[in-house]
Chain A
Amino acid sequence: MSGGTRAAAGDPQRTGRRGASVLLVGVGGLGCPAAIALASAGVATIGLCDDDEVELTNLHRQILFGEADVGSPKVDAAARALAARAPGLDVKVHRTRLLPENAFELVRAHHLVLEGADNFATKFLVADACLLAGVPVVHASAVRWVGTALAVGPRGGPCYRCLFEDVPAGDDVPNCAEAGVLGPVVGVVAAAQVDLALALLDGAPVAGELATFDGRTGALRRRAIPARRECPLCGPAPRIRRIAPETYAAPACAG
């Protein structure tokens, strides 16, 4: 099926990683190490989207930030840290949550999106906006000592909704938010996420791969996820054809 409007930034496979513009949704435990890895890989532009401020309890795993950054907006602190590490990198800050009102325009301005949000509503919003804009995305999440990263191509097949369908109600997912996450776990998951992202940018056939990490055993597994035939987003008869704000109304799974 058509992936919707061709991404405004152009074809990532012709651009490759060095010319690429990558949007990070969430500059926290996953976004920080992912940003460092992307900068090291030589991408051209990183967009940072987050409305949070740095807190002391973030510092153990949100490795772009130091004590002097506590109280700063995360995107500003991250931009400062990245400028010091990679002066040639173009960093654009978007001090906002990703919202139904801004999602499509933000994602379509990039070659690829890294989704490291801490709540399901944003994950599904990113999935929908990226598919509608024809932008590949790698979704990642980590809770306690487990994490996952899923590579989604510009036309899905599979996409995030093939795997998880829709925003869960509050009591369906008991371990959100207060469970916390171990620093090294987000580091490994972010590395797997960026590995998939760079492969996508390089044109490698990793779309549909799900990496899962179990920090207790140290096992990092990759498996290919099949597309769901009746997926409402990327299937042949899609029901989701636009960003409808009420779709993402969900109990907050995290702060």
Chain B
Amino acid sequence: METIVRIPTPLRTLTGGADEVTAAGGTVGEVIEDLERKHPGIRDRLLDDKGVRRFVNIYVGEEDVRFLDGLKTALKSGDQISIVPAIAGG
């Protein structure tokens, strides 16, 4: 199943500038692995050895995956994933 993943600005250098990509997988973790295959280096920006990096929030629709099933969160057809990194500026 393909899921749309919205890519925040800091990660677009890894996706050739694309702000939306599609990736295959039944769970958030599987989608990240597919993203890594297509855009090497992206997994490391999202995950560390404990799971989702603390300065990154991953949402399925409106829900933070931390409050769902983390990387095991299952995806349904039509789900969209968005990534919100911490930013400081202004």
Q: Which residues of A contact B (CB under 8 A)?
A: 26, 28-31, 116-120, 123, 140-148, 163-166, 168, 172-177, 179, 181, 186, 189, 210, 212, 214, 216-217, 223-226, 228, 253-254
Contact = CB atoms under 8 A, between A and B. Distances in A.
A228 to B, nearest CB: 7
Contact of A175 (B54, B59, B62, B87): B87
Contacts of B89: 29, 118, 141-143, 176-177, 179, 181, 254
B69 interface: no
A141 B54 contact: no
7 contacts: A120-B86, A120-B88, A123-B88, A141-B89, A164-B54, A164-B86, A165-B54
Contacts of A174: 10
Interface residues of B, number: 20
B53 interface: yes
Contacts of B19: 214, 216-217
A145 B9 CA distance: 8
A177 B87 CA distance: 10
Which of B55, B66, B89 has the largest count of A CB atoms less than 10 A from its CB?
B89
Given A141-B90, A143-B89, A165-B55, 5 more contacts: A141-B88, A172-B53, A173-B85, A216-B19, A223-B62
B25 interface: no
Nearest to B89: A143
